[in-house]
Structure 1
């Protein structure tokens, strides 16, 4: 399973552990990913995604999954999230 947020594209970063003696050893900073089920009001069903805690807060701030995906850039979204975004847009066009 890849360690990349499906909504923001946030992934692992690299850096150093720095000891008191200023010795540096390489390390990875991993994003805080959570498996969540988000409700889509337009589709009337839940969508399972693996997103970062920061993305979850942003989804709440923008008024849910539909509001977040409406403003999200396609380049940052995973194929699964992009498919959900297209489904939502299709349903909103029909209504």
Structure 2
């Protein structure tokens, strides 16, 4: 399992662990990933994602999963999130067509 946020693309960072004697050893900073189930209003179902806590706050700030997926570029999203984004856009397009008719 890769340690990458499925919604923001946030992954590991590499840096140095610096001791008191100023010895430097490579180390890895991992994102705080949580497995959460997020509800899509447009699709009416929930989906499970591995999301960083920062990504979860971003989703809540933007008004939910649907708005976040529509606004985010595909390069940042996982394959599962990209599929959900396409389904949401399709659902919104169908809703707009029904409202116009």
Q: Do they fold alike, i.e. is TM over 0.5?
A: yes
Q: CA RMSD of the aligned region, Å?
A: 0.6
In structure 2, list runs of 5 or more residues that go unmatched.
96-101
How many aligned positions are there? 95
Deviation at 1:70, TM superposition (A): 1.2
Runs of 4+ in 1 over 2 A off after TM superposition: none
Give the match for residue 51 of structure 2. Answer: 51
Structure 1 length normalisation: TM-score?
0.98
Distance 1:87 1:70 in 2: 10
Bigger Rg over Cα: 2
In structure 1, list runs of 5 or more residues that go unmatched.
none
Distance 2:16 2:38 in 1: 35
Structure 2 length normalisation: TM-score?
0.92
Superposed CA deviations along residues 24-80 of structure 1, whole A, max 9, x for unmatched, are: 111000011110000100001101110100000000000100010111001110000
Name the SS of the counterpart of 2:56 in structure 1. Answer: helix
